[in-house]
Structure 1
Amino acid sequence: MKIYSQEYSFNGISYIVRSAMDEDAAELSALRLQIDGETEYLDREKGESFIDASGFEQLIKTDAENPKNLFLVAEATNRIVGFSRCEGNHLNRLSHKVEFGVCVLKDYWGYRIGKNLLRESIAWADSNEIKKMTLHVLQINDKAVRLYENLGFEIEGVLKQDKVLSDGNYYNTIIMGRFKE
């Protein structure tokens, strides 16, 4: 599925949120690799589950054709600085929901890019008969948890000692959901 581009401005930075396009594939591959090395809040370490340009081309194509999927990018200063995806399920019993994920370059944290990627995804879901959005977030990522709660997500469960980080300690993952009545 695709959306119209939206312009945003915050703290001196202007950016757009738009649907991913085929020509974004190589840049998305490099961006994902960089972001994976900038934070431990994501599932992957840098280089794990690497997706090359052709893999991103396939994701973009699949998401554009599937009415239950949405692939968005945030573009600032003529480059992609973050992206998000909503992925639905073809199984009838799960077809009412999508799973949301987001990542933003560390240099662009604090400009509401993740928040606006999520807002656009929520608007898309609400207008496309998607009843539930879910996501997973590390419990120690307080800023993200507050953002999700402020946008209507609730904690549905906790996966205890779900991830081991570079300090050798295990951390909980929170499962959150937003249900449209």
Structure 2
Amino acid sequence: MRYAKTVVLKGGAELLVRNAVASDARVLRETTQRAHAETDFLLSYPDEQSADDEQEARSLEETERSGNEVELIAVIDGHIVGSAGVSAVRSQRKVAHRARFGISILKEYWGMGIGRALIEASIDCARQAGYTQLELEVVVDNERAVSLYRRAGFEEYGRNPRGYRSASAGYRELVYMRLEL
């Protein structure tokens, strides 16, 4: 699936949201690891990103050829500052209408509107892929993200009180949210 759109952010900066391609693999991995180190709200730790550059490049090539999955990157002044992905919950026909969504942004770029741009792009891609439901999980304490998802139209459909275990804060509640497309 192909996607590219330029958005003017708060403050006038230009953001390019586009497909991640194989040549982005190294920088995307580094950006992802950094984003995961900057906050405890993402669902993995930096050292759990096990793919090397070659594996990441192959994965991005496969995703780019996919008709129903996408990995997007947010680029400002030629630098990757965030990413988002849409992937099938499963391939079985009974759940083929459902997709998962995830997002990460480098902390120094929070509050600029990048999250909103990545969400809108992901929703566009999910619709193009034929999904009718987009789902996500978010740590309940991540109030900024919960608010952002609600403003984008996501609704809570459940919680898991011990769905997330932080090395520093222990068990935390996950909120399950979905958007009908």
Pair in the same fold by TM > 0.5: yes
In the alignment, which residue of structure 2 is the partner of 1:111?
A: 112
2:44 is the alignment partner of 1:44: yes
Relative distance call for 1:31 and 1:117 in structure 2 (3 A) is same
Moved over 4 A (4+): none
**What pairs with 1:10-89 in structure 2 (closer than 5 Å)?**
10-88=10-88, 89=90
1:121 Cα deviation from its structure 2 partner:
1.0
| 1:126 paired to 2:119 | no
TM value normalised by structure 1 = 0.93
Q: Deviations over 1:30-81 (max 9, x none)?
A: 1111111100001112212332212221221121121110110000121100
Conserved in 2, the CA contact under 8 Å of 1:36 and 1:47? no
* 78-87 or 53-62: bigger deviation: 53-62
Percent of matched pairs sharing the same residue: 25
Between the aligned partners of 1:65 and 1:127, the Cα distance in structure 2 is 14
Indicate yes or no: 2:133 matched with 1:135. Answer: no
- Is the Cα contact below 8 Å between 1:155 and 1:175 reproduced in 2? yes
Return the alpha-carbon distance in structure 2 between the equivalents of residues 156 and 57 of structure 1. Answer: 35
**Other structure's SS at 1:111 match:** coil
Q: Deviations over 1:95-145 (max 9, x none)?
A: 111100000000110111111011011122223321000001000111111
2:178 alignment partner AA: G
Checking the alignment, whether the CA contact within 8 Å between 1:99 and 1:134 is kept in structure 2 is yes
The corresponding residue for 2:151 is 150
C-alpha distance in structure 1 between counterparts of 2:25 and 2:8, whole Å: 23
Tell me which amino acid in the other structure corresponds to 1:173.
Answer: L
Q: Which residue of 1 aligns with 2:93?
A: 92
TM-score by length of 2: 0.93
Q: Which moved more, 1:3-12 or 1:16-25?
A: 3-12
Indicate if the aligned counterparts of 1:27 and 1:80 stay in contact, CA closer than 8 A.
yes
The alignment of Structure 1 onto Structure 2 pairs a total of residues equal to: 180
Alpha-carbon separation, structure 1, partners of 2:132 and 2:74: 25
Aligned residues: CA RMSD: 1.4
